[in-house]
Chains A and B, each alone.
Chain A
């Protein structure tokens, strides 16, 4: 067999694995989505749920539970999880570091501080809060970019500075809460706990619509970036375009995390974990945004099921993802250190 043939074989087997993994992840996410529609304090059959979602059968009681209560939660968990996963993996890949996820560094914290400021200082409505969170995320990422830039962005400096920026934002959030009247503080605290299914319909539609546009765009941009990076000689001539593609991708990632944070509040660790998990499943063909988004969606749907259905007391989703994510992070660091790849 010639080298070329071998290469082709390897490529083909990678593509097969990538497709298989992506398909099964899609299946898993959809499965969890359906489970979310099925379980709850009120037992519904698959047929009833299907009939209601597809508007084939009209039963007001079932419709209320399925369409008004469960569907928004499921859609929101799906969208928020996908946005977090995609955003996290874009950050991690561009900064070449598994710790460089937007919830770990200051992007989510920036969104939070802006949202809390809106609620506490100006009594903003939910949609305005959404936009404020977006603005906060953008300001947070710009701030980190400026602070971490020194002849380029080095992964670990960026992460440590991101942690510092996040801590500053958290401090400011704490300060705002001490200045709030209790009613506003109550609302702000609720916002800060991070739970899917709290958002109103307008926010969810905004997120779902953006996801439909942004996700394919990110996949396209990433493909282009790969091409640019692969063609060594030409890419050198196209350096400007590579940078542009990178900035574009990062902007998309910031948008995604900001929207997700605006809808669900800060949810810890999903963005951090989704990318590396997808990578592990995909093996050598790693790096896809879509698989990471799917893992994110599955994770969040699962975490929400655990939070609301399995535990004796219902916890906010963020607490569950935090409790699951932190050990993973510790493990990640330990392995990286043992392999001598730590900072």
Chain B
């Protein structure tokens, strides 16, 4: 949920208008990287509904996050739609997008016509339980965008309680589509994730002196995340991190508690998880810049001390990415000074 929240805020506050992909219309070949098994296919969608097809789908259109997940298992979609520019979407970074059509670079706008011309047999996108919709066809998008669901069945793993569940969901989906999930390289990712996760759990559990908040400082507001609605934060808590929830989440919009800059010092954590989805792996600089712009940001002692770590707010879909992020976070937790916020 969170991922859309802030980009939605951005759209809302800015009257940002859609950019849609208008590239050349080179036909992409069906490009599934794996040997697709033929015969009947079925998958249980995040919504709980079981989707069955006579043939295993090979021409897949995927939402950016789902595409990253599928591609990590070697399943290549024929087209991708994203909620933001391909260059800035963290889900699409470092991916080889050659031969894949981009049919959307703005929330709410999908070039369904191009989608139709690719004759997809499956649409893959995260299922959002709160909105009861897949990414791309939720309420508020253009009526034409919603028609993508008429092209082919839409399935996806559920965005809810755990990123791990999400990654596992896409693993299952990739397997059903013919990916060799036991392939050495793919399996290595998963193994590494298990190791990293175990270490994270060990370190996090041992640091019960540490209080942590996840925050999204943006313009002249600080948004303090309510972990209840953020799968990766729920994961961290489940694995022993003392990640605190804000006391009074906004009544209309409980995903966050919004603090004005005058009250930026309300919480004094020892470590801040910084929502850096717009500018990855750069939290130290983001923190310094923000402190320069906003005179009261450094009233949070952890911010002043530079005790910030990257919070991969809502774009993680794969074991590999999750392992990288957890590794960083483990380091940050290990090094954190438990007395900063006291």
Is there direct touching of A and B in the complex, by C-beta distance under 8 Å?
yes
- Give the CA-CA distance A282 to B42 in the complex, in Å: 64
Chain A 297-317 residues near chain B, CB threshold 8 A: 308, 311-316
Contact check: which of A183, A189, A312, A316 meets B22 at CB < 8 Å?
A312
Instruction: Give A275 Cβ to nearest chain B Cβ, in Å.
Output: 28
Task: Tell me if A65 counts as interface (CB < 8 A to partner B).
Answer: yes
Please determine whether A314 and B18 come into contact, CB atoms closer than 8 angstroms: yes
Task: Tell me if B151 counts as interface (CB < 8 A to partner A).
Answer: yes
Task: Tell me if A234 counts as interface (CB < 8 A to partner B).
Answer: no
Q: Which residues of A contact B95 (CB under 8 A)?
A: none
Please determine whether B253 and A40 come into contact, CB atoms closer than 8 angstroms: no
Contact check: which of A65, A199, A314 meets B113 at CB < 8 Å?
A65
Q: Which residue of A lies closest to B252 (CB)?
A: A181
Task: Tell me if A223 counts as interface (CB < 8 A to partner B).
Answer: no
Chain A 167-211 residues near chain B, CB threshold 8 A: 177, 180-183, 185-190, 192-193, 195, 197-200
Contact check: which of B13, B18, B117, B140 meets A316 at CB < 8 Å?
B18
Please determine whether B114 and A187 come into contact, CB atoms closer than 8 angstroms: no
Please determine whether A185 and B22 come into contact, CB atoms closer than 8 angstroms: no
- Give the CA-CA distance A182 to B252 in the complex, in Å: 10
Please determine whether A190 and B108 come into contact, CB atoms closer than 8 angstroms: yes
Residues of chain B touching chain A, judged by Cβ–Cβ distance below 8 Å, are: 5, 8-9, 11-13, 15-20, 22, 25, 107-109, 111-114, 116-117, 119, 139-144, 147, 150-151, 252-253
Please determine whether A314 and B112 come into contact, CB atoms closer than 8 angstroms: no
Please determine whether A42 and B15 come into contact, CB atoms closer than 8 angstroms: no
Please determine whether A64 and B253 come into contact, CB atoms closer than 8 angstroms: no
Q: Which residues of B contact A186 (CB under 8 A)?
A: 8, 11-12, 107-108, 140
Q: Which residues of A contact B143 (CB under 8 A)?
A: 72, 197-200
Residues of chain A touching chain B, judged by Cβ–Cβ distance below 8 Å, are: 40-43, 61, 64-65, 68-70, 72-73, 177, 180-183, 185-190, 192-193, 195, 197-200, 308, 311-316, 319
Please determine whether B113 and A42 come into contact, CB atoms closer than 8 angstroms: yes
- Give the CA-CA distance A189 to B15 in the complex, in Å: 6
- Give the CA-CA distance A315 to B108 in the complex, in Å: 14
Please determine whether A41 and B253 come into contact, CB atoms closer than 8 angstroms: no
Q: Which residues of A contact B11 (CB under 8 A)?
A: 186, 189
Known interface pairs A64-B151, A69-B144; A185-B12 also in contact (CB < 8 Å): yes
Mostly, the B contact residues are loop
Q: Which residues of B contact A193 (CB under 8 A)?
A: 15, 17-18
Please determine whether A313 and B19 come into contact, CB atoms closer than 8 angstroms: yes
Q: Which residues of A contact B144 (CB under 8 A)?
A: 69, 72-73, 197-198
Instruction: Give A293 Cβ to nearest chain B Cβ, in Å.
Output: 24
Instruction: Give A310 Cβ to nearest chain B Cβ, in Å.
Output: 10
Contact check: which of B22, B108, B116, B141 meets A313 at CB < 8 Å?
B22
- Give the CA-CA distance A40 to B116 in the complex, in Å: 11
Q: Which residues of B contact A197 (CB under 8 A)?
A: 142-144
Closest 4 CB pairs of A and B: A185-B12, A187-B140, A42-B117, A41-B114
- Give the CA-CA distance A197 to B108 in the complex, in Å: 13
Q: Which residue of B lies closest to A311 (CB)?
A: B22
- Give the CA-CA distance A278 to B16 in the complex, in Å: 34
Instruction: Give A278 Cβ to nearest chain B Cβ, in Å.
Output: 30
Q: Which residue of A lies closest to B5 (CB)?
A: A182
Instruction: Give A37 Cβ to nearest chain B Cβ, in Å.
Output: 11
Instruction: Give B330 Cβ to nearest chain A Cβ, in Å.
Output: 32
Please determine whether A314 and B15 come into contact, CB atoms closer than 8 angstroms: no
Q: Which residue of A lies closest to B15 (CB)?
A: A189
Q: Which residues of B contact A42 (CB under 8 A)?
A: 25, 113-114, 116-117
Please determine whether A319 and B114 come into contact, CB atoms closer than 8 angstroms: no
Q: Which residues of B contact A319 (CB under 8 A)?
A: 17
Q: Which residue of A lies closest to B9 (CB)?
A: A182
- Give the CA-CA distance A177 to B17 in the complex, in Å: 16
Please determine whether A40 and B113 come into contact, CB atoms closer than 8 angstroms: yes
Contact check: which of B17, B19, B22, B147 meets A68 at CB < 8 Å?
B147
Given A182-B253, A313-B20, 19 extra CB contacts under 8 A: A40-B113, A41-B111, A41-B114, A42-B114, A64-B116, A64-B150, A65-B113, A65-B117, A69-B112, A69-B113, A69-B144, A180-B12, A182-B5, A186-B107, A186-B140, A190-B141, A200-B143, A312-B22, A313-B22
Instruction: Give A268 Cβ to nearest chain B Cβ, in Å.
Output: 13
Instruction: Give A101 Cβ to nearest chain B Cβ, in Å.
Output: 23
Q: Which residues of B contact A72 (CB under 8 A)?
A: 143-144
